[in-house]
Amino acid sequence: MVAGPASISSIDPGEVDAEIAGRTARRIRDYLSSHPDEDPIEILVEGDDSEVLVVPRAGAILLARVMGTLETGQGVALVPSDA
C-alpha cells in the first residue's frame, strides 16, 4: 500500500522481527560502504533473481536507519517533511 503525501506511517515496537531488521540494516550499511558511489541501488528480490528493485541511495540509507531502530525494539514513525 502506498500512502498519500500527507499521511503518517508507523511501525509499533515489537511489530517486526528484531533479528531480521538488524540483519537487514547491517547488509544495507555494508553494501553502501563497499559501493560508495552507486546511486540508485539495485536490489535482487530474494528467491527471484529475475526481479530487481531500484532504490535511490537516500532511500536505502533511510531504510537501514529504520531497520536499525526496529532492531532495538523501538517503534518508528515516518512523517513527510511538509506535514
What does the pLDDT read at residue 58? 96
Q: Binning pLDDT at 50, 70 and 90, where does residue 15 land?
A: very high
- Its pTM stands at 0.80
Helix (H) or strand (E) holding 76: strand 76-78
- Give CA separation, 35 vs 18, 47, 57, 66, in Å: 26, 23, 10, 20
Helix (H) or strand (E) holding 81: none
CA nearest 77: which of 44, 17, 58, 65? 65
pLDDT digits over 21-78, tens only? 999 999 999 999 999 999 999 988 888 878 999 999 999 999 999 999 999 999 999 8
> Pick the residue with more confidence: 79 or 57?
57
3 pLDDT higher than 90: no
